[in-house]
Structure 1
């Protein structure tokens, strides 16, 4: 359910200044009950502060923060207990590697009603359901061709009682029950709403009639940007456990979140991990990389998310390159990972007020990524050139053709550029100490 309190108020709390950095992180959760009135699940909601409403300007950023805070900040057991969590998710995050940080047995992917349905999304939903995720459709209020197209790829449907007339609710419930979907009555605000939903055979119930969202808080863990960049650089060149362990020891807040991640049910180890080396081995470098990317993606630092053009440029460029690499070689995950890293690190010298050669030499990046950034060499260098032209609104198709990437047609490049534009993946933090 898109939070009914989202954007309900502006300007934060009295006494907050634009430069104030909260000392705590927050997550809202609202109970979802079964037909007996027992707790079945929670919907997790973005909260910027202890006040019980959301100010959301970017769905992807809000979801990334909810996931980061639930898994690494507050912890899955503290937020969810033994229950599942419904998480709002938009199109960009559905196609992101970040989604796999969430253990599928603990999280339900709640597809926002604004997500455009097409064949590409259908394939992705099939993949995610095959990986064990359940998919819920959010804020359904009418029978449309779009809804009928989505239904084969969904397990749960949430019907909006606040906006849908009772006669249409009954029609929707009858049709959806016939297709074997789990029905959730959301935004149930009155006893009459609840009685109607119960009579119509709804399985689950959510709304202010039962409970308003509760806000959970935990001390904010600060992750310094240079440390995360160094960690990602090590991962990009397949560094060994000794190097990773040494780097992580310099970043205690990342270690705390990593241990929370590995001790969550995502890994089903049946035991807690006590040492950093055990955590690295148990988690695997792929998951650590996802987690580092999520922290870059979720943390905002002192500036509003959209206020720093460099943040948007780095995020969009890296995502564009990853998508282009996936398009060119769908089965080559290493190529896509390297493309993403190339995009992220192509602007690090600006962030750190240095030169590309100096910064990249200190980071010890893989040669192919370093050569791509410094000299635009190789396939990654060609992709970086294409991303630069596309990001400036130019015609990148001739550059792609000259590089031998005939599959990157003008139509494909346009679609990739639009998809990447919403992917904000950089992190504005305090200066290194």
Structure 2
């Protein structure tokens, strides 16, 4: 029996201060969300930097245990980096083993002790991934039978090496994950090699396609948004909603989510329009723009998850930084949601701000990352990119007079809200 408790857990708790908690989406071949890699970086702001892989992982686990790891990963899988020291420790009591995958770097020495520990943890339901694989070394060959996933970084692996290694690992029954996929061309190339999962922000990079048209449902949502923004009366808005049966049904689903906070059930479009009010109605319509493509396939689309999380995070940041200014959080939410519409529609952001009326302040944030809302948006983007933008996080937080601890708590709250909304949106 494995002892997963430890007297050192209290010491880990004391060191959990000032760190960034990021998550990067992992998608399947249909570009549906499979899970997230949880990323930890210690902040240079606190008195005690966390400088080992063991304490870093302990920090993630302890913080997730306090706030609820289910809020961070939702229904997906969570991928967590571990090394030999972590694997040999007794910090696994906090881990939901059915939803977590432990990532071991391919550079880790495959000693008999390590192999035995992995086998013991696997017998208790833990699953493993081998990451940063660039060649089939003796250590990789030893660890391979005990791992379910094999991860290749496109930045560290030459195309020829990928083409040679992928079929061999695939033939061994492993699930292949391509990391740092930044373009649709890279995604397509890895699809052809048989990769099962993809990690990177290629899905959020706008792919401008000439002559691309919005779906009829998206056109209807945009038309309805125009009615809301132009202060049309409720009867006109209700009539427009009822013309689109799917839109009406999903609006009712959304208005009855716990996140809205209405205690009695809303059963009519007229009630929904009246109770929500114009600001909330505009918010749900913005979400529906992302949700509509998901209705054509099963599973959570990454853009919907990313946009709702980003919008909510900006809203929570604005509430914390500008208390008492009622309109500011709503504007921040709109900036967050709209910031991914270029990827959603496949058109330049300049065209989007012309078609959807926004203030100069919102346009400046979306186009140039200027002003208060531009600073919030830049912060959110840097958190998401983490590896590439870590150095910019501390100055951005300093500029906003916010601690990394406060940011981590708001992030988790945004993850939870997004997961709740997405469950009802698709």
Q: Same fold (TM over 0.5)?
A: no
TM-score between the two structures when normalised by the length of structure 1 = 0.41
Structure with the bigger percentage of helix? 2
| TM-score using structure 2 length | 0.42
